[in-house]
Amino acid sequence: MTEPHRIPAPAGVAPATQYSHVVSATGRFVAVSGQLALDENGELVGEGDPAAQARQVFENLGRCLAAAGAGFEHVVKLTYFVTDTAHLPAIRAARAAHIPGDRLPASSAVQVAALVAPGFLMEIEALAVVGDQRESDDRA
């Protein structure tokens, strides 16, 4: 698989500090729907606690990526929907546990008035690109 190419500071654009401005990749596209802080039983984790919710959301993202044969190393774009931008440091900390600082994906953060149900502080979706089946077969 070709490693995604990250461009944190294209010419003429202010440098990115917590994301990459551009990520390009070739392979199979994987889209993960927005994940919430729900455990495997559908129960809210970390009510009122952005750090606990962010950790749970990233655990859910990891499980979804794995189900598609992908991992965080394949993520090229994350989109954060937050009820308060004050939750972004907690999200960055949870992200750092899964994605090294030199492999940051392109990202967008959007503050919203509310999410699907009370208690949810964030929803995060991921886009990933993994090698095609021929490349997987070649490594086997």
Q: 128: domain CATH number?
A: 3.30.1330.40
Q: How far apart are CA 129 and CA 43, in angstroms?
A: 30
The size of the chain, in residues, is 140
pTM for the full model?
0.86
Query: Quick check: is 80 in a domain?
Result: yes
Kindly state the average pLDDT of the residues 39-57.
98
pLDDT band for 136, please (50, 70, 90 cuts).
very low
Q: Does residue 5 fall inside a structural domain?
A: no
Single-letter residue type at 50: P
Domain presence at residue 9: no
- Tell whether 20 is covered by a domain: no
Q: Is 91 domain-assigned? A: yes
Q: Would residue 76 count as lying in a domain?
A: yes
Q: Which residue has the higher pLDDT, 139 or 79?
A: 79
Measured distance CA(56)–CA(134) in Å, rounded: 33
> What's the domain range around 59?
27-139
Residue 75 inside a domain? The answer is yes
- By percentage, how much of the chain surpasses pLDDT 70? 92
pLDDT digits (tens, 9 = 90+) for 104-113: 999 999 999 9
Question: What's the pLDDT score for residue 2?
Answer: 60
pLDDT of res. 46: 98
Are the CB atoms for 128 and 33 separated by under 8 Å? no
Does 84 map to a domain?
Answer: yes
Domain count, the chain: 1
